[in-house]
Amino acid sequence: MRNTTIPEEEYMLPGHVACLGCGAALAMRYALKALGKKTIVSVPACCWAVIPGVYPYRTLEVPLLYTAFEVTGAAISGIREALEVLGQDDVTVMGWAGDGGTADIGIQALSGAMEREHNVIYVMYDNEAYMNTGVQRSGATPFGAWTTTTPVGKLRIYKKERKKPVAEMMVAQGVPYVATANIAYPEDLIRKLRKAKEMKGPKFIHIYATCPTGWRVPPNKTIEIAKLAVQTRVFPLYEVENGVYKINVKPKERVPVRDYLRMQGRFRHLTEEEVELIQKMVDEEWEKLLLKEEMTNRVRKE
Amino acid sequence: MEFEFPTPLTTVPSTANKTGVWRTFRPVINYEKCIRCYICWKFCPEPAISFVPGDKYPAPSEAFLKRDAVEINYDYCKGCGICANECPKGAIDFVLERGDGQ
Ligand SMILES: Cc1ncc(C[n+]2csc(CCOP(=O)(O)OP(=O)(O)O)c2C)c(N)n1
Ligand code: SF4
Ligand code: SF4
Ligand SMILES: [Mg+2]
């Protein structure tokens, strides 16, 4: 006898070649538990293009179509429309791209796919840099982080720009279902992907996925760090349905951002003043999110 | 038109690739402490933890034997240590591999 809080079926096999403690591998394991066997996944250049291993190995029990770095949005649009022509409407189509492949090079294909209202799920799994090619900065790398292209050193060239808010861009575009999710909260992640599967039209999900290798953290801390990202409000969990916000986790106490930053080698160089500055940014974003929730719920009622 | 759900061209399951050889540290479940909450199973990124009949291993008390036990598959466990870090009972030891399977 047993009772589990997430589905037992596995559609991702062991033997894949993700790094120890890979958050992106966990994210895929959960996503496919939610979507099930009748799913077609498309993946561009990113860690997930490598994780399944080389030909003839496969690690997913569903079809996986590789595509070029910048075209995930176009690829899933095409797969969906081909299925429509064949009269297949019970197959889920999911694009699965990294933060670089989404926030940077793939943003136009994503924006187009969402605007054309194809019935697809687009997931941006976010390890906050170009990890597959050796930890280069992306638009989704957070302020303050070390990467190999923001190398700190004597000149302190850490990333000085703020993280690109891709989920907010999708909300602004009017995407009917936008959500953030996190590997430390698999029940919430699976619920959101199931909801996305049930809804017709374009869906966008942003999944926080710890990368021990690129973040310079021990692999056993993958879940602990991901949980702290939510508790410190660095990465709030929320969903936006037809423009109306719902924050899924409102941490009761304000855990200092310092606790999150000081666990990670990529933030090791930050001074106390810089940590305070990041705390201010996080507080400000959280306040804005609370107001968005209040405002959009009020507009709906009126 | 008859539609056939596409089957992968990549025919060999990755289970042919025994990633257990990557391991530097080995997680070892201390069954006397394990309350069979399945948190380790939930957070394993391989996944390399599965369920086995409850009476296969000892338990903190008789009552726990009714619940299925967890078992680590060392063919695939890479030794990331997430399970040991997340276990609420501290029931998983994390020991240096000595290459002798112990
Ligand atoms: C057009 C093009 N430019 C560059 C590359 C090289 N490249 C492959 S993966 C990658 C980084 C991907 O980063 P991200 O999308 O964040 O995924 P991650 O590897 O971090 O999972 C790059 C730059 C490529 N394959 N195609
Ligand atoms: S997390 Fe710990 S107590 Fe729970 S099933 Fe795993 S070993 Fe047992
Ligand atoms: S050490 Fe990592 S790979 Fe091995 S069983 Fe634990 S969570 Fe899974
Ligand atoms: Mg990335």
Q: Give the C-alpha distances (Å, rounded to integers) separating A257 from A140, A219, A263.
A: 18, 21, 10
Measured from the Cα of A45, ligand 1's closest atom is 9
Q: Tens of pLDDT along A250-291?
A: 999 989 999 999 999 999 999 999 999 999 999 999 999 999
Question: What element of type H or E holds A78?
Answer: helix A72-85
How far is the C-alpha of A241 from the C-alpha of A248, rounded, in Å?
A: 13
Could you tell me the two tokens for A35?
């979507």
pLDDT score, position B100? 63
Pairing of strands A238-241, A177-182: antiparallel
Option in B14, B36, B68 nearest A53 (CB): B14
Which tens digits make up the pLDDT trace of A164-221? 999 999 999 999 999 999 999 999 999 999 999 999 999 999 999 999 999 999 999 9
Judge contact between A231 and A208, C-beta under 8 A.
no
Domain borders along chain B are 28-93
Task: Find out whether the peptide bond into B47 is cis, omega within 30 degrees of 0.
Answer: yes
Tokens representing B86 are 């997340």
pLDDT exceeds 90 at position A33? yes
The answer, yes or no, to whether any atom of ligand 1 lies below 6 A from the CB of A132, is yes
Decide if pLDDT at A247 tops 90: yes
> What is the tens place of the pLDDT at every residue in A7-20?
999 999 999 999 99
A69-115 per-position pLDDT tens digit? 999 999 999 999 999 999 998 999 999 999 999 999 999 999 999 99
- How far away, in angstroms, is A140 Cα from ligand 1 center? 13
d(CA A89, CA A92): 8
Count, residues in chain A: 302
- DSSP SS3 for A42: strand
Predicted local confidence at residue A248, as pLDDT:
98
pTM over 0.90: yes
Mean pLDDT of chain A: 97
Per-residue pLDDT of chain B (102 residues; tens, 9 = 90+): 566 777 778 889 999 999 999 999 999 999 999 999 999 999 999 999 999 999 999 999 999 999 999 999 999 999 999 999 999 999 999 999 987 654
What contacts A294, CB < 8 A, 6 or more positions away? none
Residue A300, pLDDT score: 80
Ligand at minimal distance from the CA of A104 is 1
How far does B14 lie from chain A, in Å, by closest CA?
5
Residues of B with CB under 8 A from a CB of A: 1, 3, 5-19, 22, 36, 38, 41-43, 45-48, 51, 54, 66-68, 73, 75-76, 78-82, 84-86, 94
What's the number of CA atoms in the CB half-sphere (13 Å) around residue A163?
Answer: 23
Strand partners, B94: B27
Ligand 4 ion: nearby residues, β-carbon < 5 Å = A 98-99, 127, 131
Check: CATH 3.30.70.20 for B28-93?
yes
Nearest CA-CA partner of A147 in A155, A158, A162 = A158
- CA A147 – CA B99 distance, rounded (Å): 35
Q: CA angle, A264 as apex, A267 and A227 as ends, to 5°?
A: 120
Q: What φ, ψ does residue A174 adopt, rounded to 5°? A: 85, 20
CATH fold, domain A23-301, is Rossmann fold (3.40.50)
List, in sequence order, every residue forming a beta bridge with A15; answer none if it has no partner: none
CA–centroid distance, residue A292 to ligand 4 (Å): 28
The token pair that represents A171 in the structure block: 């909300």
Chain A residues with beta carbon closer than 8 angstroms to that of B11: 56, 58
Q: Which residues contact A70 (CB under 8 A, 6 or more apart)?
A: A44, A101, A105, A106, A108, A109
Question: With 90 as the cut, is the pLDDT of residue A156 above it?
Answer: yes
In 3-state terms, what secondary structure has residue B96?
strand
